[in-house]
Structure 1
């Protein structure tokens, strides 16, 4: 499989011609063109958007008409995978999240404005691909959903595709359960200004809990309710028949590994509450016994085994959590958070998702919620979801990222997916690139329970 396939189309559509004409009269603060550091034959187009967000694109001398736009490209890069796409003829660029943060709509608008800047300087692209990871994956999927007149395809990596409100409700469930059972004095939604101190308090309490059978059982319960991955950097692909090993994987995702779930639950909770002018999450009316019943059978068996080992009553602990004072959201904040973007599934361009099964930040169960929305909207033929057997947030090799991009480009070239997303094809293509591991696997995420 070639790194980038297809020749530049000669037809300039009305949408791009109009955008380029508008930009020619100078809507941008700065636009410069310089040689790219990675290759003196490449050009760099860069400048600032109307809200002061920087943008940057690298354009190869033999540009083939394809351009990738990525939320985070102007923050650094190109990475090895991005440079590989550039070397084979595609332009690659984008913006940063520094100005927009959790204002997803603003970030999407910036993607389109950056594409306009690119077109005004480099020329009209034959096709534009929204691509990114983490929040960049959310922005890629959102941009494709909102702007199919400007975006021809999407590669969304490790994004929280259940949507803004639902994923943070689920994070609340995890932290609320832990707080009630381990230490009710720990911050759950009222995060102090000293976020690092809050994270340290939580990690200290969880480390202590991990040393006892009772603490391990309660960590397992909260992890099952919150659908955390047990496949972690501490324990790869744990055996569900070994409850202690499985729980050790959960603990790694929650607190023990780099970039722990609990740390992000503190920092992003603080940020989102400030950005949206109130708390956009709630658990009023949530039955945590029911949330556990919605967890996978595998998870429930591990929880039961650990509660039996600890001599604890699972029923009593669930009653404790259910009986605790609930957390109410600010309705206006919820509305603003949802407006930043909740996915509808109304996609009209080919969309490929890429996810690590052990991603502790963008938990993989969220992908099932996205698939359900796309299916309900009648757009299943446009979506393909791929999974990698790795742990950590966006833990992909360059070979896996380039392979995902190529699958999307093949889909645009041929008009059909064919067998391109079969695991053996994905791994063969990734191995042929000689750019790192090839770990695609057959995987079906659990049904998202919030």
Structure 2
């Protein structure tokens, strides 16, 4: 047992003394500062913050009646002080804080280590928490799952929200498959990037969205968009141009499902194709090359493994367009493959390959209609954990909502509360079932929770580094 873990056993009252000490603003050495909270912070909290060794800002808000639990989030210090979730959690006694991604970006290994460094600064300023929980949304969810794997001696639990839990290598191979299929079948004669994304990622995104929108207006385009989305395991549900949810398609409604596939790719305020451009550019720059490959990939096999509703939609769209699906799959099989730069792969492996090595409890949370952190990636994470013999430490949950990280504050509070119960009792309870999480959501907000029973498809590009 590490010294960090031993320190967690001391009484919460010792930490509460540290909260009282924050009431008087004072500057401390080493880039730390305790003093007034930013404008808009919840009432009844005190704050501590500063910069880590690499220049990353960090900040924590600590309620005057602290329950001894601190939630550490990749993006906390860059969010508005009046974010509703902060108020909801501090009202319930949680200390909330963390860092920003402004310095690390897609240097995930550094971002993971920064969560431990920020917690250490918190302990120096406030005191030792009873429990420290790594959490966050999107890349923050990805980093919190990484923190659970890398720093189980420092953190007690993790609640990753909508993180790409196929791992860095796996999720970017999956995105390569989607964009490669689109380019090969629809845009082979256009200068739309797949890898080697240019510096002007906004223009690349605009060009891709325009091309996809043009293709969506034709039966052939709709058929091939549906095939690419099925290969890439995107949801058949999307958001409109304003970012509002469209109605969830009824089973068998091929037109609505295909429209949802298109919107996942190119619609809403955060389209899949936009992240496939901007984030890939960042990764390629940091890694010094392309870390993704499709050598040896059988796209006919990937299509065959798609969810039945998506396969039915693809077949119907192809029939309407008068296209031969088998011929298109043969075209994909014959297309020259993309190879990866081995050094770039090694870089991406550092941040991070999820190998299932868990020693602390983890509760994952994901929308079923998330176009960025696709639900099949959650399946990959769960498989890795069970394969390593650590399934008893993991629970996974899903919400019937569309878009990237589209949770209400109450739904997030519910997951944090359920994890707190797990830490307090030492066992999972009914609180982590959809009914239990919806009950906890109802206690935190007026609207009902949207947690549902859901079984994701098997991730088609698993990568476990072995």
How much does 1:117 deviate? 0.6
CA distance in structure 1 between the partners assigned to 2:446 and 2:158 by the alignment? 22
Q: Is the 8 A contact 1:11 1:126 kept in 2?
A: no
Aligned to 1:406: 417
- Pairwise mapping of residues 312-391 of structure 1 onto structure 2 (< 5 A)? 312-391=323-402
Among 312, 315, 319, the alignment partner of 1:301 is 312
8 Å CA contact 2:42, 2:86 repeated in 1: no
Among 151, 157, 160, which residue is 2:155 paired with? 151
Q: Please give the alpha-carbon distance, in whole angstroms, between the structure 1 residues aligned to 2:112 and 2:207.
A: 36
How many Å separate the matches in 2 of 1:39 and 1:441? 31
**TM, length-normalised to structure 2:** 0.89
C-alpha deviation, 1:12, in angstroms: 8.0
Q: CA-to-partner distance for each residue in 1:326-372, whole Å, 9 max, x for gaps?
A: 11110010011111211111111111111011111111110000000
Taking the aligned partners of 1:420 and 1:39, their CA distance within structure 2 comes to 27
Secondary structure of the equivalent of 1:271? Answer: helix
Aligned equivalent of 1:168? 172
Aligned match of 1:135: 139
Q: Partner residue of 1:60?
A: 63
Please say if residues 42 and 87 of structure 2, whose CA atoms lie closer than 8 Å, have aligned partners that are also in contact.
no
* CA distance in 2: counterparts of 1:12 and 1:87, whole angstroms: 21
Query: Which whole-Å deviations, capped at 9, do the CAs of 1:388-407 have from their partners, x for residues lacking one?
Result: 11111100011100001000
1:239 corresponds, among 226, 236, 250, to: 250
CA distance in 1, matches of 2:211, 2:247: 24
The answer as to whether partners of 1:145 and 1:347 remain within 8 angstroms in 2 is yes
Is 1:49 the counterpart of 2:62? The answer is no
Aligned to 1:248: 259
Kindly state the Cα deviation for residue 43 of structure 1 after the two structures are TM-superposed: 0.9
CA deviations over 1:191-239 (Å, ceiling 9, x no partner): 1222111111111111111111111000000000000011222543212
Q: Does the 8 Å contact 1:107/1:139 carry over to 2?
A: yes
Q: Does 1:90 align with 2:94?
A: yes
Tell me if the contact between 2:235 and 2:261 (Cα under 8 Å) persists in the aligned partners.
yes
Take 1:81 and 1:161, find their aligned partners in 2: how far apart are those partners? 23
Q: Secondary structure at the match of 1:340?
A: coil
SS at 1:257's partner residue?
A: coil
* Alignment partner, residue 105 of structure 1: 109
Task: Write out per-residue CA displacement over residues 279-304 of structure 1, whole angstroms, 9 at most, x where no aligned residue.
Answer: 00011111111111121222111111
CA–CA separation in structure 2 for the residues paired with 1:368 and 1:318: 26
Equivalent position of 2:36 in the other structure = 34
Please identify runs of 4+ aligned residues in structure 1 that moved more than 4 A.
10-13
| 1:274 aligned to which of 285, 288, 303 | 285
What is the Cα deviation at residue 10 of structure 1?
4.6
Residue matched to 1:74: 77
Match of 1:21 in 2: none
Are residues 205 and 105 of structure 1, via their aligned partners in 2, closer, same or farther at CA, if it must alter by over 3 Å?
same
**CA distance in 1 between partners of 2:171 and 2:285 (Å):** 17
1:410 to 1:77, Cα distance in 2 relative to 1, 3 A: farther
Structure 2 gaps of 5+ residues are 1-8, 16-27, 241-245, 462-466
TM-score scaled by structure 1? 0.93
2:303 to 254, 277, 292: 292
Cα pair distance change 1:402/1:269, threshold 3 Å: same
Whether contact under 8 Å (1:104, 1:341) holds in the other structure is: yes
Q: Contact 2:289–2:341 (CA<8 Å) still a contact in 1?
A: yes
- Work out which of the residue numbers 211, 228, 252 in structure 2 matches 1:205: 211
Aligned to 2:24: none
Select between 188-197 and 304-313 the one with higher mean Cα deviation.
188-197
1:126 and 2:137 correspond: no
The answer on 1:434 being equivalent to 2:448 is no
2:243 match: none
CA RMSD of aligned residues (A): 1.8
2:234 corresponds to which residue? 228
Question: More displaced, 435-444 or 402-411?
Answer: 435-444
